[in-house]
């Protein structure tokens, strides 16, 4: 049976231009739309802590001062531990790694904020935003793991003092640090890869001074159910398991100290744990405080201001906690400062 000229023309049009096929046209439209959404996202806008231009110089000076104190203070701790042979113990090894992590954690967020204020430019590239999300999660996770490892170190030192050097040998110390790093990196990469599958449409303003994962997820115009479930699941694991380990360690530490006959021994045992307990309280206290404040208030700006308490302040205060509350650290720091003064 011969086909009509009209049908022949229609078939020729379909064969030459496949996009006219109804099914292909529908799929191609949504594919092109998704591609346009993905390619259009070249940058996000970080709204920062305030819109008032008069407050920008004050914020810049405040954050620059805290950042410099964090960097210089933690560098001094690292130099003091490495230069004093009496501090080459597992406790100070973990403290040295913690100080290096505090430097990295502050560097992942504060410098970009300072540059944006200085240049009066609130933008951050899409790639830069994802990198900031990834690195921030890595260093926060590593801080959490290191605090837990340090509590185990104190548990072995007080509850099993005769076996301390055997249990906390250099190989185990390095293994615990590497394990903490691997867990943190896998955790961060998992979240980052899950963000890569999302599409973003028009609203690209982040109500924060850095790319926080929760704020980035709010901007997605695709389904974020899996991302949010992953955030809550990992948060429970990363907060619950380490905190349970810390509580378990200190329950045994307190029971062992109370059984000591001399008050001098009790005081010495508690003094070795004082700095670590302060770091634990600061880390978890500010973290939970920001979480509950964000749950109570609906203001994104207030949440961003409150988040300073766990992204910048703890890393700065850890320097003073670890140096001023420890006699050995004070002595090592005095030696370092005297050498610096001599050379200058």
Q: How confident is the model at residue 137 (pLDDT cuts 50, 70, 90)?
A: very high
**Distance (Å, whole) CA 41 – CA 18:** 29
pTM: 0.82
* Least confident stretch, 24-28, 180-184, 290-294, 326-330: 24-28
**Residue 2 and residue 74 in one domain:** no
Is the same domain home to 56 and 110? Answer: yes
Q: Say whether both 49 and 151 belong to one domain.
A: yes
User: 26 with 82, same domain?
Assistant: no
pLDDT bucket at 129, cuts 50 / 70 / 90:
very high
Give me the pLDDT at residue 143, please: 93
Give the span between the Cα atoms of 244 and 277, in whole angstroms.
14
Instruction: Please check the confidence at residue 33 and state whether its pLDDT lies above 50.
Output: no
Lowest mean pLDDT among 18-22, 185-189, 221-225: 18-22
Give the residue with greater pLDDT, 244 vs 11.
244
- Co-location of 82 and 105 in the same domain: yes
CATH number for the domain including 123? 1.20.1070.10
On whether both 164 and 191 belong to a single domain, the answer is yes
Query: Does residue 105 surpass a pLDDT of 90?
Result: yes
Tell me what pLDDT residue 23 has: 39
Q: In this predicted model, what pLDDT tens digit does every residue of 49-79 receive, in sequence order?
A: 877 788 889 999 999 999 999 999 999 899 8
Closest by CA position to 269, among listed 155, 173, 150: 155
**Could you list the residue range(s) of the whole structural domain that residue 35 is in?**
1-40
Instruction: Judge if 245 and 262 occupy the same domain.
Output: yes
Q: What does the pLDDT read at residue 199?
A: 86
Q: Are residues 13 and 146 in the same domain?
A: no
Residue range 312-338, pLDDT digits in tens: 888 888 888 877 667 777 787 788 777
Q: Are residues 107 and 136 in the same domain?
A: yes
**pLDDT for the residue numbered 154:** 92
Q: How many domains does the chain have?
A: 2
Residues 108 and 141 in one domain: yes
Q: State the average pLDDT for the chain.
A: 81
List, for residues 245-304, the tens digit of each pLDDT value: 999 999 999 888 888 777 777 777 777 788 888 888 888 888 777 776 666 666 666 777
Which pLDDT score, from 0 to 100, does residue 293 have? 66
pLDDT higher at 219 or 176: 176
Strands 43-46 and 123-125: antiparallel
The residue-averaged pLDDT of 106-121 equals: 91
- 233 or 330: which carries more pLDDT confidence? 233
Q: What are phi and psi of 341, to 5 degrees?
A: -65, -40
* pLDDT score, position 150: 94
Domain check: are 35 and 146 in the same one?
A: no
- pLDDT higher than threshold 70 for residue 9: no
Has residue 157 got a pLDDT over 80?
Answer: yes
25 and 105 housed in the same domain: no
Per residue, the 3-state secondary structure of the chain, as one string, reads: CCCCHHHHHHHHHHHHCHHHCHHHHHHHHHHHHHHHHHHHCCEEEECCCCCCHHHHHHHHHHHHHHHHHHHHHHHHHHHHHHHCHHHCCHHHHHHHHHHHHHHHHHHCCHHHHHHHHHHCCCEEEHHHHHHHHHHHHHHHHHHHHHHHHHHHHHHHHHHCHHHHHHHCCHHHHHHHHHHHHHHHHHHHHHHHHHHHCCCECCCCEECCCCCCHHHHHHCECCCCHHHHHHHHHHHHHHHHHHHHHHHHHHHHHHHHHHCCCCHHHHHHHHHHHHHHHHHHHHHHHHHHHHHHHHHHCCCHHHHHHHHHHHHCHHHHHHHHHHHHCCHHHHHHHHHHHHHHHHHC
The residue-averaged pLDDT of 43-51 equals 84
Instruction: Give me the pLDDT at residue 35, please.
Output: 41
201: its two tokens: 């449409």
């Amino acid at each position: 049976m011969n086909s009509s000229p009209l049908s022949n023309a229609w078939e020729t049009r379909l064969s030459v231009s496949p996009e006219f096929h109804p099914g292909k046209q529908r799929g191609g439209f949504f594919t092109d739309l998704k591609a346009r959404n993905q390619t259009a996202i070249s940058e996000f806008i970080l709204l920062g802590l305030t819109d008032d231009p008069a407050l920008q110089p004050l914020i810049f000076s405040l954050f620059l001062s805290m950042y410099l104190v964090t960097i210089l203070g933690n560098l001094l701790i690292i130099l003091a531990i490495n230069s004093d042979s009496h501090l080459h113990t597992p406790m100070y090894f973990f403290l040295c790694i913690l100080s290096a992590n505090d430097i990295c954690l502050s560097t992942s967020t504060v410098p970009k904020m300072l540059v944006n204020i200085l240049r009066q430019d609130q933008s951050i590239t899409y790639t830069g935003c994802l990198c900031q999300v990834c690195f921030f999660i890595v260093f926060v996770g590593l801080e959490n793991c290191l605090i837990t490892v340090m509590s185990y170190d104190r548990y072995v030192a007080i509850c099993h003092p005769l076996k301390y050097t055997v249990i906390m040998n250099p190989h185990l110390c390095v293994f615990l640090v590497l394990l903490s790093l691997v867990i943190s990196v896998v955790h961060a990469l998992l979240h980052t890869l899950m963000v890569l599958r999302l599409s973003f449409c028009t609203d690209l303003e982040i109500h924060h001074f850095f790319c926080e994962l929760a704020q980035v997820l709010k901007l997605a115009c695709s389904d974020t159910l899996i991302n949010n479930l992953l955030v809550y699941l990992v948060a429970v694991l990363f907060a619950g398991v380490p905190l349970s380990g810390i509580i378990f360690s200190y329950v045994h530490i307190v029971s062992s100290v109370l059984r000591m006959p001399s008050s001098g021994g009790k005081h010495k045992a508690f003094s070795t744990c004082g700095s670590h307990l302060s770091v634990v309280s600061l880390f978890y206290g500010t973290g939970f405080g920001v979480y509950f404040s964000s749950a109570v208030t609906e203001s994104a700006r207030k949440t961003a201001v409150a988040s300073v308490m766990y992204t910048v302040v703890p890393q700065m205060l850890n320097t003073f906690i670890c140096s001023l509350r420890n006699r050995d650290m004070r002595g090592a720091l005095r030696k370092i400062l005297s050498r610096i003064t001599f050379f200058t």
